[in-house]
Amino acid sequence: MHYTPVQFRYVQQLLLVVGFLMFSCNGNTQIHNTWRGPDRDGVYHETGLLTSWPEDGPKMAWAFEELGIGFSSPVIANGKIYVTGMEDEMGYVYILSMEGKFIKKYPYGEEEADNYPGTRSTPNIIGNLMYMATSKGKLVCMDITNGNIVWSKDLFSDFDGSNIRWGLTENLLIEGEVIYVAPGGETNNVVALNRNTGAQIWSSKGKGERSAYNSPLLINHNGNRILVTMMGTHILGMRADDGTLLWSYPYKNRHNIYPNTPIYHDNSLFLFSGYGKGSIRLALNHDGSEVTKLWENETFDNQMGGVILHEGYLYGSGHRNRRWFAVDWESGEIKHESREIDKGTVIAADGMLYAYTERGELALIKPKQGSFEIVGTAEVTLGSDQHWAHLVIHDGILYVRHGNALMAYNIRK
């Protein structure tokens, strides 16, 4: 087919518009990440999964029980599984086959050995490079083909940050060639680095507060790229291109602990924490330069297990309020609650919720427009220490990390 010059320009413009819509249809920019699924919201884009489980739970395909100590989640990339663990105060990345067979491991830096010892943050794999922030504040880029350190930074000595009580726990956010991370310094509060070299791109003073275990979110709000994170006593919104502080919102619980990644939907942000502080929904103005409170819910106080937004309702557990909740997105009103299982983490796939509780329970949950029903349970009997790691689903397999054990359950129909 032959086009006139005018027709050709029209086709070019049309393709650009279609490409932009495909790129930004979910409101979030396309980012490299490994934390809570492809959009950092706990939703895995899997289909063909079981909608009910056998009485004793899904079938375990395999288990690997020789990991070091840790709470991080596994990462699937390059046809392999990557998961971190600590041995003798040293953090290692373990590389397993998709069948759970050990291939090799590489050390990357010291991890927390005193307060709940073990690895915290989930690694981020892009091509042959692994990016990892340790609980001691070391930011590492490693070549995972040979274990060589490509570059490293000390977030505390290089950027005037300081560690926090339970150790730095930030799942790195990477978009394109940029890493965003919060050292928590008075001058270098939040920084953006080149992921290939570690060179600083920008630094923001923010509010000069210490970091607070938060893993940030990058949103595309009406064409404005905004980095959202939670620091010691404030929620921050920064221009992603240069670190300009657009707004801050006071938000404080008694321990300054905010491990959950915010959720962006419908031109607004949902942010939440435990210790009875609860959750809040903030509306952004058109260009994202200001926020206003829409509602607050002190009862829905998820500490570190994440929350799922599904068809107009938020699903997750509380902390002091040790129950599972369904909360209306529009009003913040609690529509349903249950004590059938203990509090814990939650992800979603194929219209179902998957919970992993602090008592070692796995649960398959069917959301029902503001209500929910537990349709399957299983008990995690392998592994060690606390049941804190977030679940992962990949290619019909549910991955459960419990301390020194990684288990793979087949949840395909």
Q: What are the tens digits of pLDDT across the range 285-323?
A: 999 999 999 999 999 999 999 999 999 999 999 999 999
Is residue 13 included in any domain, yes or no? no
Farthest-apart Cα atoms in the chain, separation: 71
Q: Give the per-residue pLDDT at 144.
A: 97
- What is the CA angle 310-312-313, rounded to 5? 65
Q: Give the per-residue pLDDT at 11.
A: 40
Confirm if 229 and 273 have CB atoms less than 8 A apart: no
Task: Tell me how far apart the alpha carbons of residues 325 and 317 are, in angstroms, rounded to a whole number.
Answer: 6
- Give the residue-averaged pLDDT of 199-228: 98
Q: Say if residue 22's pLDDT is above 80.
A: no
Q: Say if residue 12's pLDDT is above 80.
A: no
Which residues have C-beta within 8 Å of that of residue 376, sequence separation ≥ 6?
50, 52, 53, 54, 57, 58, 363, 364
Residue range(s) defining the domain that contains residue 77: 31-410
DSSP string, 232-269: SSEEEEEETTT--EEEEEE---TT----SPPEEETTEE
Is residue 323 included in any domain, yes or no? yes
Is residue 20 included in any domain, yes or no? no
Task: Tell me how far apart the alpha carbons of residues 227 and 204 are, in angstroms, rounded to a whole number.
Answer: 11
pLDDT tens-digit readout, 364-398: 999 999 999 999 999 999 999 999 999 999 999 99
Q: What is the mean pLDDT of the chain?
A: 93
Which pTM value belongs to this model? 0.92
Q: Which of 84, 86, 140 is nearest to 113 (CA)?
A: 86
Amino acid making up residue 25: C
DSSP string, 359-372: TSEEEEEEE-SS-E
pLDDT tens-digit readout, 175-191: 999 999 999 999 999 99
Is residue 69 included in any domain, yes or no? yes
Which residues have C-beta within 8 Å of that of residue 22, sequence separation ≥ 6?
none
Q: Give the per-residue pLDDT at 297.
A: 98
Is residue 72 included in any domain, yes or no? yes
- Give the residue-averaged pLDDT of 202-224: 98
Is residue 216 included in any domain, yes or no? yes
Q: Give the per-residue pLDDT at 307.
A: 98
Q: What is the CATH number of the domain that holds 317?
A: 2.130.10.10
Q: Say if residue 31's pLDDT is above 60.
A: no
How many structural domains compose the chain?
Answer: 1
Confidence of residue 4 (pLDDT cuts 50, 70, 90): low
Confidence of residue 34 (pLDDT cuts 50, 70, 90): confident
pLDDT tens-digit readout, 264-279: 999 999 999 999 999 9
CB atoms within 10 A of CB 390: 25
Sheet (strand 190-194) strand order: 173-175, 178-181, 190-194, 200-204
Task: Tell me how far apart the alpha carbons of residues 129 and 178 are, in angstroms, rounded to a whole number.
Answer: 14
- Count CA within 13 A, CB hemisphere, residue 339: 3
pLDDT tens-digit readout, 89-102: 999 999 999 999 99
Q: Give the per-residue pLDDT at 23.
A: 39
